[in-house]
Amino acid sequence: MEGNHVVKPVNVAIIYYSSTGTIYTLAQAVAEGATKAGAAVRLRKVAETAPPKAVDARPEWVRHLQETAGVTEAGHDDLEWADAVLFGTPTRFGNPASQLRAFIDTTGPLWFQGKLADKVYSAFTASNTAHGGQESTLLALANTFYHWGGIIVPPGYTDPVQFQSGNPYGTSHVAGDGPPGEVILEAARHQARRVVDITARFKAGRTA
């Protein structure tokens, strides 16, 4: 309650692309952090656009698609519903994956109507090797957020875990080292909590 105004829970959409499961694991940790912070959460994958021949060449890719068949695909309604959106993507040559870009590139009508402005945005990523383009991928996503008129909320060094995980731009993992460990998962949870906290303050201020 803010004065005579009731502030509704923060709506958080987590929209991700994952080929073999690393980003999906991070997305689940982000969802956990946001949920525990009191947000209403939608976890959404973007459509797989890679040709079947490319997918079939990697058993782990095929397996992940099968294991996440039940995850709802992202739609424009998820962006409209959300007060905050966290995007997850693997690094592809220092840029977001084309599958996520393909979804983002369909959002022109929402942008034109101003429906993407004044929302909070944040992002997380993974690369196969250290220094594999993680920061440039997150910065590339931020270019879109600028165009949308979004409010970018990075994790920064706002929790002790950030001094262990090391990336103030957004949670990132080196997939070549194996699955995300507890430090990275906690960094993802912290990023989500921070996004929810900042969004809640902003939402309360606008309501007041």
Q: How would you write the pLDDT of the chain (208 residues) with one tens digit per residue?
A: 444 455 579 999 999 999 999 999 999 999 999 999 999 999 999 999 999 999 999 999 999 999 999 999 999 999 999 999 999 999 999 999 999 999 999 999 999 999 999 999 999 999 999 999 999 999 999 999 999 999 999 999 999 999 999 999 999 999 999 999 999 999 999 999 999 999 999 999 887 6
In which element (H, E) is residue 89 found?
A: strand 84-92
pLDDT value at residue 7: 58
What are the boundaries of each domain within the chain? 11-207
CA 31 to chain centre: 9
* Residue in 122, 133, 97, 94 with CA at minimum distance from that of residue 189: 122
DSSP result, 154-202: --TT-STTHHHH--SSS-EEEGGG-S--HHHHHHHHHHHHHHHHHHHHH
pLDDT value at residue 1: 42
pLDDT value at residue 4: 46
* Residue in 164, 147, 161 with CA at minimum distance from that of residue 193: 161
What CATH homologous superfamily does 11-207 map to?
Flavodoxin domain (3.40.50.360)
Beta strands 95-96 and 84-92: pairing type? antiparallel
Question: What is d(CA 166, CA 158) in angstroms, rounded to the nearest whole number?
Answer: 11
* Residue in 102, 74, 88 with CA at minimum distance from that of residue 22: 88
pTM of the model: 0.95
SS3 109: helix
Query: For residue 12, what are its two tokens?
Result: 């958080």
Phi, psi of 147 (to 5 degrees): -65, -35
* Residue in 86, 92, 12 with CA at minimum distance from that of residue 49: 92
pLDDT value at residue 125: 98
